[in-house]
Amino acid sequence: MPRSLLLAIVLAAPLVLAQDWQDLMPDPSLAGWTRITIPPGGEVTPGEHWKVDTSTHTLLCYGDQKHEWLRYDRELADFELHVEWRFTPKEGNPHYNSGVFARTNADGSLWHQAQAGLAGGYWFGETMVDGLKKRLDFRHQMTENRVKPAGEWNTYDIQAVGPKLTLSVNGGVVSTWDDPSMLKGYIGLESEGYRIEFRNLKLKVVK
């Protein structure tokens, strides 16, 4: 094929641009994010519970035995989410606990969570199955525990494509969940009694 013809075909083809990654780190006012109690329907405790450190570009959750989640206020269908997190080490043998929500409804009454804890990363949550709300837990299907000890940074990469949720921990896929009942929803971060930091919150919207 003549080079001039090949060039003409290339120039005539539709231009497909790769999706850009969006930095989701909130500003100190937490604009665009909402604190929601767990279980839903309560009132959040007044005072500073989530703090953005602009010097280190990290989001700190104090824990303080409060159970709630911080919801990003944009409903999403298919997407990729990158989150890095670490617990602040605590004396004794605490049951560190937090999580990253995906395709959760607005008040959190139906939810999918990528568990963040030293026992490993895996999907669990409460969703609709055959018209009834049911709790599902995929801990025993987790391929391996790739979570690092408290004080070290962990990387979660979450993909939501069609009915499938995929969780990669520190570079390896460890848990998947097929749920055709929730093809869109909200993402968020959980506070469950332990001090935890988040950084490099990045989102790529597929549709």
Domain residue ranges of the chain, discontinuous segments joined by +: 23-205
pLDDT computed for residue 66 by the predictor: 83
Cα gap 112→160, rounded to integer Å: 11
Please give the CATH number for the structural domain made up of 23-205: 2.60.120.560
pLDDT digit string (tens) for 80-116? 999 999 999 999 878 999 999 999 999 999 999 999 9
pLDDT value at residue 9:
39
Q: Stretch 154-177: mean pLDDT, rounded?
A: 98
Q: What is the per-residue pLDDT for 10?
A: 34
Asked whether the CA dihedral 172, 68, 110, 126 is positive or negative, the reply is: positive
In this predicted structure, the answer to whether residue 194 has a pLDDT above a threshold of 80 is yes
CA–CA separation, 63 and 190 (whole Å): 9
Instruction: Give the mean pLDDT of the chain.
Output: 91
Measure the CA–CA gap between 151 and 60, rounded to whole angstroms. Answer: 13
Confidence of residue 12 (pLDDT cuts 50, 70, 90): very low
Structure-model confidence comparison of residues 87 and 13, the more confident one: 87
Kindly give, in sequence order, each residue whose CB lies less than 8 Å from that of residue 5, ignoring residues fewer than 6 positions away: none
pLDDT at residue 18 greater than cutoff 50: no
| pLDDT value of residue 2 | 55
What phi and psi, each to the nearest 5 degrees, are found at residue 146? Answer: -105, 10
First to last CA, the chain: 37
What average pLDDT does this structure show over 53-58? 95
| Both tokens assigned to 3 | 């080079």
Query: CA nearest 123: which of 171, 79, 160?
Result: 160
What percentage of the chain has pLDDT greater than the value 70? 91
